[in-house]
Structure 1
Amino acid sequence: MPNQTLKKRASGLRYLWLTVLMVIVDQITKLWVAAEFELYESRVIIDGLFNFTYVHNYGAAFSFLSDGGGWQRWFFTVIAVAISAVLLIWLRRNPVSFWRQNLSFALILSGAIGNVADRMMYGYVIDFLDVHYQGWHWPAFNIADMAITIGAALMLLEAFVDNRRDDERKGQNQEGNK
């Protein structure tokens, strides 16, 4: 019976359009940077605050394990593929009405796919967004990283605002009105 219910209702997979869109935007921006910039070239966008700076990231966030000798490429790829599989399962199981959770899963999934695509094609991730202030630089990042960060923030928000409780209350109110 539970499998039939799962098949009949709309699932969070409806949010995959966002995943596809974000992967396309991520890959197009990375292709543009790789074609238009020399490695380590930097162009000022907002003076004293924001540049486009083309770099290769062989590690993970903040270049973690970037000097690992190559094994980290496959390590981070396997982790991202596993996380992507879990997120797809969760999207499939979630009702479409859990929009905050589905949105967060779709964004994290897009970031994971975007960076895995880079690792598979190039052996590194293309980063180019460079935020800085008075000599302090945040590590360069890309659209995929932004999607992961926004998705994680939404997931934290979801921890404080639980859709399931809202849906349970609606269901109880509807039963009480019968």
Structure 2
Amino acid sequence: MKIPRIAWAAYGFALVVVILDQITKAWILGSADVSDPALIPGGYRFAEVIPGILSFTMVRNTGVSFGLFGGGEARWALSGFSILVAGTLAWWALKAERRMLVAAIGLVIGGAIGNVIDRIRFGYVVDFVDFSQTGLFPWVFNVADSAITVGVALLILDSVMAEKKPAVGEAHEKA
């Protein structure tokens, strides 16, 4: 089976997200100067990047994006589900024809895989981007969560834009 070039673009987006996600997590965990990430206390502030707005804070997320469904009991179920989603999206990329759709698929795949790596490796997802001091956004997140969020938003936007365009046959029928 030949993989279309546009599908390779989705896989490329996914790879970039996974690499950026894992590099930023390694960087933040490495900045704590401990031999084991388990020794970093939850809520530990690595740095206050923009006072009162942005901090890097250690959060062990046992749930899904932005801490939803936390508790840790579902570690393997969430990992399996994320792998299933990534696999389904990878298959969808083989059929995709629109650039925005391909970008969206790649972002979600990369985010899902980035967080699965943490879940398998640590038993939780490392979240650290913290805007909670603003009072507007209480969640702490990471690069993978951001990619998933942007990817889902692009999926919705692509769906809306695709509905507005007439199908190839419809344009000729109305003329």
After TM superposition, give the deviation of residue 8 of structure 1 in Å: 8.5
Aligned residue pairs, count: 165
Measure, in 2, the Cα distance between the counterparts of 1:167 and 1:10.
Answer: 23
Residues 46, 164 of structure 1: alpha-carbon distance in 2 compared, 3 angstrom cutoff: same
CA offsets per residue over residues 10-33 of structure 1, 9 Å max, x none? 442332111111100100100111
Measure, in 2, the Cα distance between the counterparts of 1:101 and 1:60.
Answer: 23
Unaligned runs of 5+ in 1: 1-5, 173-178
After TM superposition, give the deviation of residue 7 of structure 1 in Å: 4.5
The aligned counterpart of 1:21 is 16
Measure, in 1, the Cα distance between the counterparts of 2:3 and 2:89.
Answer: 20
Q: TM-score, normalised by structure 2?
A: 0.82
CA offsets per residue over residues 36-74 of structure 1, 9 Å max, x none? 13433212111111111112111123323322xx43101
Please identify, of 134-143 and 79-88, the stretch whose mean Cα deviation from structure 2 is larger: 134-143
Q: Does residue 1:94 correspond to 2:96, yes or no?
A: yes
The aligned counterpart of 2:142 is 142
Measure, in 2, the Cα distance between the counterparts of 1:8 and 1:25.
Answer: 25
Q: 1:41 aligns with which of 44, 67, 76?
A: 44
RMSD: 2.8
Residues 84, 49 of structure 1: alpha-carbon distance in 2 compared, 3 angstrom cutoff: same
Measure, in 1, the Cα distance between the counterparts of 2:25 and 2:4.
Answer: 37
Query: Percent identity of the aligned residues?
Result: 30
Measure, in 1, the Cα distance between the counterparts of 2:12 and 2:2.
Answer: 19
Check conservation: 2:6, 2:102, Cα contact below 8 A: no
The aligned counterpart of 2:77 is 75
Residues 157, 134 of structure 1: alpha-carbon distance in 2 compared, 3 angstrom cutoff: closer
Measure, in 2, the Cα distance between the counterparts of 1:73 and 1:128.
Answer: 19
Runs of 4+ in 1 over 6 A off after TM superposition: none
Unaligned runs of 5+ in 2: 33-39
